[in-house]
Amino acid sequence: MDIWIQQLINALTIGGMYTLVAVGFTIFFGVLRLINFAHGEVFMFAAFVALAVSSICVAVGITNGPVVIILMFLFAMGTCAALGGLLERIAFKPLRGMPPLLLLVTSLAVGIVIREAVKEFYPEGANPQAFFSPYAYNTFQIGGVTLSYTQIGLVAVSVILVFCVYLLVTRTWMGRAMRATSEDRDAALMMGVDVDAVIRNAFFIGSALGAAAGVMNGLFYQSVRFDMGWVMGIKGFTAAVIGGLGNVYGAIFGGYALALFEVLVVALVPNGSQYKDVFVFMILIAILVFRPSGLLGTPQEKVG
């Protein structure tokens, strides 16, 4: 029994990160019909921003754990929100109205630029880097279940952030504008919604959430590397598709469902850790074939 609770907690931790990345994918798709593969690299970039912040903090003598961690989150999310806005302005805005395929290819290219830039310009960027994580080994036992404070903190932060997104989407004017744009951009425009601002905000929010996931990833796994964004990008995208691209609740559901599914495969299938991705992508293919609008999405007649 203990093992299953432990596995559930493992799933919740991974699921939190998947969800935060997936929400970004889904928001971009919602407002722009863009599958933004640069998003995984923004996630990686955030981890490096946080790493730089922690190095600077240590260098100037700030070693108080919580203070450094809060600074890491703030700077990483701020920088990446700005980066997201910048990418939208210089890479995606000029292509607005073009076929979605062009946007997709652009996003791949932008992703490569970010990844290689970190590799080349961060000191010893090609090497894995140790990440500042002061509480990584502060664990406690409940029965046979081992919990770390970092893990609890991460699950809490991801739930809070996801809840904030939920409030933002359902309760604010901005959220309503985003949903309207997502459903029908032209109609929203006619109703006086500033679509440009909506898209810009979507990039700020999505990138900041991805950034939070990046910092969490560093804190939990204690090391970061320039090529960590790709796998996370694919996983986040998969989570978003499982829940239905464009549907924020779907992304939340998809993130946790994907993590739980992965954990179950590893736990139940002999040598499952080797075939985990095979199972995951089989599910992805099945969903794309049979329910392209996702498990939570309502089937649509027209897209774009």
Give the binding site for other proteins (CB under 8 A).
3, 6-7, 10-11, 13-14, 119, 126-130, 136-137, 139, 141, 146, 148, 217, 221-223, 225, 227-228, 230-231, 262-263, 266-267, 271-274, 276-277
Give the residue with the Cβ less far from other proteins, 99 or 128.
128
Q: Are 212 and 73 within 8 A, CB to CB?
A: yes
- In angstroms, the CA 229 to CA 232 distance is 5
- In angstroms, the CA 230 to CA 281 distance is 15
**Smallest distance, Å, CB 128 to other proteins?**
5
Give the residue with the Cβ less far from other proteins, 129 or 201.
129
Angle at 239 between CA 237 and CA 242, to 5 degrees: 110
Give the residue with the Cβ less far from other proteins, 157 or 205.
157
**Smallest distance, Å, CB 139 to other proteins?**
6
**Smallest distance, Å, CB 98 to other proteins?**
32
Compute the Cα dihedral for 107, 45, 280, 296 and give only its sign.
Answer: negative
Give the residue with the Cβ less far from other proteins, 13 or 36.
13
**Smallest distance, Å, CB 271 to other proteins?**
5
Give the residue with the Cβ less far from other proteins, 139 or 170.
139
**Beta-ladder partners of 130:** 223
**Smallest distance, Å, CB 170 to other proteins?**
31
- In angstroms, the CA 211 to CA 50 distance is 9
Q: At what angle do helices 149-171 and 173-183 cross, to 10 degrees?
A: 80
